């Protein structure tokens, strides 16, 4: 090699090498040391295939080395080369044959440069694109371009999927617009024209019919773009928003249904609370009028039975009015209620039964001391829980009651637990919250209305109640407000 040329080669930042036709190193520039950790002397006489990553070796042989041996200049190839410390460096290698006067390949010249940063950036881009494609699939969002001169479109795979088309099919603007009903097609055409003329953007939600006849709702967003040396174009995103419209339609239908039901309950509340109560209220007057006449013993007994039936009817009517009131959403005013104050009030209401049972009551309201809630409803829950705990206490042990509140997931909850007679899973399903069913059939009083009302009141305000029990051991009620 010419000494001057060799000096230039040795100073180059690129790695320059000469090889025998089989690849054996003949010469390596000084760049080999900072790139691989080897000196030129350590590699001369050795074959690069001993250092090329096994996964790249066959590709080098077929896509580069074989072409050089055929006196051709192959395209650059990217390979991993094992360094002295056993790590690998990415190289972009350019190869060309050295020919004799007779045209025979007598050697090979290669130039290589490190492309670790390029490979890392490209890998990061590929990962980002994969994530973007996954996000696009999950969000049902595609990408589109429209060449405003050629009137040709370019779509991403997700856009094709929304159209239910094969990605190999290309569409011009008129074909792309054909998937919209007439009115929607005109709207989109106008928006495209306006955005093009004003070099601005547009954002519309339109009905759409796919290639397979599937009716959908889509969102089309577009923005004008004009780069130097290129045709002006519209670029944008295309999203399937059918689920959103289905949910909106469902909510509208549910809202209308609830409005009708509430109106019916209000009417029923008026009928039961006013008309029936007024009618029943007239019966005592009729009984008094009957008592003013001469009655025999049998008639007196009948009237007494009528009074008993009337009293029961009044109680049932009051209960029915309460149920309808809850179902109709005619709830009490919401205010800040302190749990401890509400429970103390309930204790005062049940003081006689508490004195008889002498329960141990543990309260823990530290994590949630108060709640914005109808006071009457909360006191009703506590009254029913404590009343049932006293009523259904175990005869075998002293009654222990614990009340705890807290906040989880932004929602306030309350737990009321006692060690009384408990209940089974079947009873939770069939008895605990059922109307006209008592948790224990040997209970002396109770109509089963209390817990029925508790559940209805909680659910009418968007809450949930869960009952847990162990027969003969314990009962727990958990409210998530």
Could you write out the DSSP letters of every residue in 252-309?
Answer: HHHHHHHHHHHHHHHHHHHIIIIIIHHHHHHHHHHHHHHHTS---HHHHHHHHHHHHH
| Residues 477 and 385 sit within 8 Å (Cβ to Cβ) | yes
Is 0.75 topped by the overall pTM? no
Give the 3-state secondary structure of residue 429: helix
Worst-scoring range by mean pLDDT, 18-32, 228-242, 349-363, 440-454?
A: 440-454
| Residues 427 and 440 sit within 8 Å (Cβ to Cβ) | no
90: nearest Cα among 103, 98, 75, 79: 79
The CA angle 224-228-229, to the nearest 5 degrees, is 110
- Residue 444 — very low, low, confident or very high, per pLDDT cuts 50/70/90? very low
Percent over 90 (pLDDT), the chain: 39
pLDDT attached to residue 179:
93
| Residues 368 and 406 sit within 8 Å (Cβ to Cβ) | yes
pLDDT of residue 193 exceeding 90: yes
pLDDT attached to residue 278:
56
Worst-scoring range by mean pLDDT, 93-107, 334-348, 417-431?
A: 417-431
Distance CA 399, CA 48 (A): 87
Residues 377-415 pLDDT 10s: 888 889 889 988 998 888 889 999 999 999 998 899 999
- Residue 129 — very low, low, confident or very high, per pLDDT cuts 50/70/90? low
> Which uninterrupted H or E stretch holds 475?
strand 474-480
Output the average pLDDT for the chain: 82
* Dihedral over alpha carbons 366, 371, 377, 378 (to 10 degrees): 0
- Residue 474 — very low, low, confident or very high, per pLDDT cuts 50/70/90? confident
| Residues 27 and 110 sit within 8 Å (Cβ to Cβ) | no
Residues 245-273 pLDDT 10s: 888 887 777 767 666 666 655 655 555 55
What DSSP character marks residue 189? H
**Residue 465 has which token pair?**
């109640």
Residues 304-321 pLDDT 10s: 777 776 666 666 566 566
Instruction: For residue 304, report the phi and psi dihedrals to the nearest 5 degrees.
Output: -60, -40
Percent over 70 (pLDDT), the chain: 77
| Residues 480 and 472 sit within 8 Å (Cβ to Cβ) | no
Tokens 């205010």 sit on residue: 335
pLDDT attached to residue 438:
56
pLDDT of residue 4 exceeding 70: no
What DSSP character marks residue 65? I
pLDDT attached to residue 332:
59
Q: What is the CA radius of gyration of the chain?
A: 43
Distance CA 261, CA 460 (A): 13
| Residues 343 and 405 sit within 8 Å (Cβ to Cβ) | no
Quote the crossing angle between the two packed helices 375-391 and 449-460, to the nearest 10°. Answer: 150
479: nearest Cα among 422, 433, 420: 433
| Residues 153 and 176 sit within 8 Å (Cβ to Cβ) | yes
pLDDT attached to residue 309:
67
pLDDT attached to residue 302:
72
**Which pairing describes strands 411-418 and 88-99: parallel, antiparallel, or unpaired?**
unpaired
**Which pairing describes strands 233-240 and 215-225: parallel, antiparallel, or unpaired?**
antiparallel
pLDDT attached to residue 173:
85
**Residue 56 has which token pair?**
């790249």
């Amino acid at each position: 090699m010419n000494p001057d040329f060799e000096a230039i080669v040795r100073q180059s930042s690129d790695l320059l090498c000469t090889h025998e036709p089989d690849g054996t190193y003949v010469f390596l520039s000084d760049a080999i040391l900072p790139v691989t950790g080897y000196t030129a002397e350590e590699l001369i006489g050795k074959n690069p295939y001993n250092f090329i990553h096994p996964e790249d070796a066959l590709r080098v042989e077929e896509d580069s080395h074989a072409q050089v041996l055929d006196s051709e200049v192959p395209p650059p190839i990217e390979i991993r080369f094992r360094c002295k410390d056993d790590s690998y460096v990415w190289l972009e290698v350019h190869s060309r044959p050295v020919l004799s006067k007779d045209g025979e390949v007598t050697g090979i010249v290669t130039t290589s440069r490190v492309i670790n940063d390029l490979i890392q950036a490209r890998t990061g881009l590929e990962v980002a694109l994969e994530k973007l494609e996954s996000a696009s699939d999950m969000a049902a969002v595609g990408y589109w371009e429209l060449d405003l001169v050629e009137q040709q479109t370019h779509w991403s795979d997700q856009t094709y999927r929304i159209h239910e088309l094969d990605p190999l099919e290309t569409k011009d603007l008129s074909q792309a617009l054909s998937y919209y009903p007439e009115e929607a097609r005109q709207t989109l055409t106008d928006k495209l024209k306006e955005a093009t003329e004003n070099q601005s953007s547009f954002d519309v939600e339109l009905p759409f019919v796919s290639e397979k006849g599937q009716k959908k709702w889509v969102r089309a967003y577009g923005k004008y773009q004009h780069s130097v040396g290129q045709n002006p174009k519209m670029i944008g995103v295309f999203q399937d928003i059918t689920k959103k419209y289905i949910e909106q339609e469902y909510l509208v239908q549910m809202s209308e249904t609830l409005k009708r039901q509430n109106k019916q309950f209000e009417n029923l509340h008026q009928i039961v609370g006013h008309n029936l109560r007024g009618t029943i209220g007239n019966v005592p007057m009729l009984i008094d009028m009957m008592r003013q006449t001469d009655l025999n013993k049998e008639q007196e007994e009948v009237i007494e039975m009528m009074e008993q039936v009337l009293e029961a009817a009044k109680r049932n009517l009051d209960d029915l009015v309460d149920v309808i009131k809850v179902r109709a959403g005619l709830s009490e005013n919401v205010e800040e209620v302190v749990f401890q104050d509400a429970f103390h009030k309930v204790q005062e209401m049940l003081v006689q039964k508490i004195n008889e049972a002498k329960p141990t009551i543990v309260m823990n309201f530290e994590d949630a001391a108060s709640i914005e809630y109808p006071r009457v409803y909360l006191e009703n829950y506590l009254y029913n829980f404590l009343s049932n705990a006293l009523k259904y206490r175990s005869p075998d042990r002293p009654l222990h009651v614990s009340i705890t509140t807290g906040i989880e997931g932004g929602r306030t909850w309350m737990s009321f637990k006692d060690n009384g007679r408990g209940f089974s899973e079947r009873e939770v399903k069939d008895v605990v919250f059922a109307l006209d069913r008592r948790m224990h059939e040997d209970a002396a009083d109770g109509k089963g209305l209390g817990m029925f009302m508790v559940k209805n009141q909680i659910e009418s305000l968007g809450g949930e109640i869960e009952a847990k029990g162990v027969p003969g051991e314990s009962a727990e009620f958990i409210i998530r407000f």
